[in-house]
Structure 1
Amino acid sequence: MDVIGRYRLQSKIGAGAFATVWRGYDDDLDIDVAVKVLAENWASRTDVRERFLAEARMMRRIASDRVVRVFDLGQLPDGRPYFVMDHIGGGTLAEIIKRGPLNAADALWWGADLARAVAALHEEGVVHRDITPANLLLRPTRADSTGGGTHRIVLADLGLAKRVAEASGLTQAVGTPSYMAPEQGRESGGFDERADVYAIGAVTYALLTGRPPYVASSITDVLARDPDADPPSLRPWLGDSVGDIDAILARTLAYRVDERWQRADSLAERLEAEAYRVEQETPEPPVTAAAAASGEKEGTTVANRRRNWPVLLMLPVLLILAGVGGWFLSGR
């Protein structure tokens, strides 16, 4: 299959149980696209087909650049539906985590950015229900003032997403176990936006350590967790710089919903404040020969380049003062 509709397929981006996503090209608009196609083995299942189409319609209705945008919908000759989305070219957060733990400041900035993205989804009245590193795309943005690139997290794969009003009455256990809030594994009681808040904490923990706080292979593992136990301490990874990070994530990952952080936007503010604290208390990394040639400090990533902006803003002032000083001295 080389062409779907007017879109030329280039490579497979990923495949799941229900669908395959291809990277394609739209010659008419001269842009890269992502095309999601329902799997053949599910084509005859009306309920699966409707859920697939519901995902496309929901993504289309959400007016936020923090959610992948759908702009076309169609059907293959064999009857399988497909929809076309923006292609987000920066990879996924899962690829970053695979490289190993990030430094604390970078991990917290990414966690805060995720919380901002989730808050935007919640403002649209939608609960994601399956926030995992693999479902978090990185959108490259304009180069920053230091010459380096930056990225923003964009939410993808809304196949399990529901309107908040619907989620409160759901009883089916769904999600990815290692990032799933405990209430999502129960057969009664429903859930709300705080299930996504839990997932923000699990992803942030994985950024800090390279693994989620509770590695679970099934819903049984999720429900078997001790309700009164805090997640494993981050001190072995962060040492004395751990500060309030343990307490923040313990609250975010609380087993009981009422003890958890209640809103994604307020969690974002707290993570941002803690990221700034860590940056101020952490010595600047050494400069290697290779890093000096590229203008980067060793260990610097796109997330922590933002720390340089106060210095950059001061440079024009310092240059003016130096000029005034030189004029004054030459006049004497």
Structure 2
Amino acid sequence: MDVIGRYRLQSKIGAGAFATVWRGYDDDLDVDVAVKVLADNWASRADVRERFLSEARLMRRIASDRVVRVFDLGQLPDGRPYFVMDFVDGGSLAEVLSHGPLEPADALWWGADLARAVAALHDEGVVHRDITPANLLLRPSSGLESGGGTHRIVLADLGLAKRAAEASGLTQAVGTPSYMAPEQGRGDGGFDERADVYAVGAVTYALMTGRPPFVASSITDVLARDPDSNPPSLRPLLHDSIGEIDEILARTLAFRVGDRWNRADTLADRLEAEAYRLEQEAPLLAAQRTIFNDVDQVPTTVAQSPTQRRARRRWLYTSLPLLFLLAGTGAWYFVGR
């Protein structure tokens, strides 16, 4: 399969149980695109086909640059539907996480940015239901937004997303267990936007530690959690700089819905405040440490974290006077002789 519609396929981006996503090129518009095609083994299932098309329609209706936008829809000769999206070229948060946990301040900045993206989705009246690092894409930014990072998080894969008004009536347990709110696992329809707030907390915790707060391989594991349990404390990682981070994440990841933050943007405010505090407290050399285990394996633009960029600027500003002094001393020595 080299061509779909007017789009030339270049490489496979990813494949799941229900669909495959290709990187393609639109010669008419002279832009890269992403083409999502329903898997052939599901083509005859009317319910799966309708869910696939519903995802495309929903993504098209959402008027936010924090959600991947759909701009074309079609059908292959064999009858399988496909839809065409903007190509987001910064990779995914899963790729970032594959290189190990981030510096704590960077993890909190990313968590806050994710919360802002989720808040934008909720403003459109939509609950995502499957927020995981693999479904979070990175788009280059101007660097002027909160946190000063080189990339912004964009939400993708809305295959499980629903209008908030419809979510309370859903009775099927869906999602990724380690990032799934407990009420989703019950499958009784009793969940709302706070299920996404939980997932934001789970992703943020994973960015800080390299693993989700409650590792679960099945919905049974999700439901078996002690309702009074909190995620493992981050004090061993942050020591005296823990601040309010444990409390914020414990509330975000509360088993009971009523104990969580009501809004994603409220969570974003708290995470941003803690990220800023950590940056102010962190020694300069610690802030300059690389956020990846092996930076040679990742794009340079992704490796430029908010903390690193600010650390480089602070190093430059503090080093310039010393450099000028050394240069002046050297000139005086040689001229004097």
Relative to the length of structure 2, the TM-score reads 0.85
**Distance change >3 Å, CA 5–CA 207, structure 1 → 2:** same
In 1, Cα distance between equivalents of 2:116 and 2:164: 18
Secondary structure at the aligned position of 1:285 is classed as: helix
Name the residue aligned to 2:250. 250
Secondary structure at the aligned position of 1:137 is classed as: strand
Name the residue aligned to 1:159. 159
1:46 aligns with 2:46: yes
Name the residue aligned to 1:100. 100
In 2, Cα distance between equivalents of 1:271 and 1:309: 23
Name the residue aligned to 2:17. 17
Secondary structure at the aligned position of 2:284 is classed as: coil
Query: What CA deviation, in whole Å up to 9, does each residue of 1:162-219 have, x standing for no partner?
Result: 0000001111100000000000011324210000000000000000000000110100
Question: Displacement of 1:149 after TM fit?
Answer: 7.1
Query: What CA deviation, in whole Å up to 9, does each residue of 1:75-126 have, x standing for no partner?
Result: 0000000000000000000111111111111000000000000000000000
| 1:106–1:301 Cα contact (<8 Å) kept | no
In 1, Cα distance between equivalents of 2:31 and 2:93: 23
Secondary structure at the aligned position of 1:226 is classed as: coil
Name the residue aligned to 2:326. none
Question: Displacement of 1:304 after TM fit?
Answer: 2.2
Aligned residues: 302
**Distance change >3 Å, CA 39–CA 210, structure 1 → 2:** same
The aligned runs of 1:1-332 (5 Å cut-off) are 1-142=1-142, 150-285=150-285, 301-305=304-308, 307=310
Query: What CA deviation, in whole Å up to 9, does each residue of 1:127-176 have, x standing for no partner?
Result: 0000000000000124679xx97000000000000000000111110000
AA in 2 matched with 1:223: L
In 2, Cα distance between equivalents of 1:139 and 1:3: 26
Question: Displacement of 1:311 after TM fit?
Answer: 6.9
**Distance change >3 Å, CA 194–CA 143, structure 1 → 2:** closer
Question: Displacement of 1:301 after TM fit?
Answer: 3.3
| 2:149–2:306 Cα contact (<8 Å) kept | no
Secondary structure at the aligned position of 1:171 is classed as: coil
The alignment yields a C-alpha RMSD, in angstroms, of 2.3
AA in 1 matched with 2:38: L
In 2, Cα distance between equivalents of 1:52 and 1:143: 34
Structure 2: give runs of 5+ residues left out of the alignment: 290-302, 322-337
Question: Displacement of 1:308 after TM fit?
Answer: 6.5
AA in 2 matched with 1:249: L
Secondary structure at the aligned position of 1:255 is classed as: coil
**Distance change >3 Å, CA 159–CA 20, structure 1 → 2:** same
Question: Displacement of 1:303 after TM fit?
Answer: 2.5
In 2, Cα distance between equivalents of 1:285 and 1:130: 37
| 1:73–1:82 Cα contact (<8 Å) kept | yes
Secondary structure at the aligned position of 2:233 is classed as: coil
| 1:9–1:24 Cα contact (<8 Å) kept | yes
Query: What CA deviation, in whole Å up to 9, does each residue of 1:238-266 have, x standing for no partner?
Result: 22222211110000000000001110001
Secondary structure at the aligned position of 1:158 is classed as: coil
In 1, Cα distance between equivalents of 2:179 and 2:230: 15
Relative to the length of structure 1, the TM-score reads 0.86
In 2, Cα distance between equivalents of 1:277 and 1:157: 33
Question: Displacement of 1:309 after TM fit?
Answer: 11
Secondary structure at the aligned position of 1:254 is classed as: coil
Secondary structure at the aligned position of 1:129 is classed as: coil
Secondary structure at the aligned position of 1:36 is classed as: strand
**Distance change >3 Å, CA 107–CA 143, structure 1 → 2:** closer
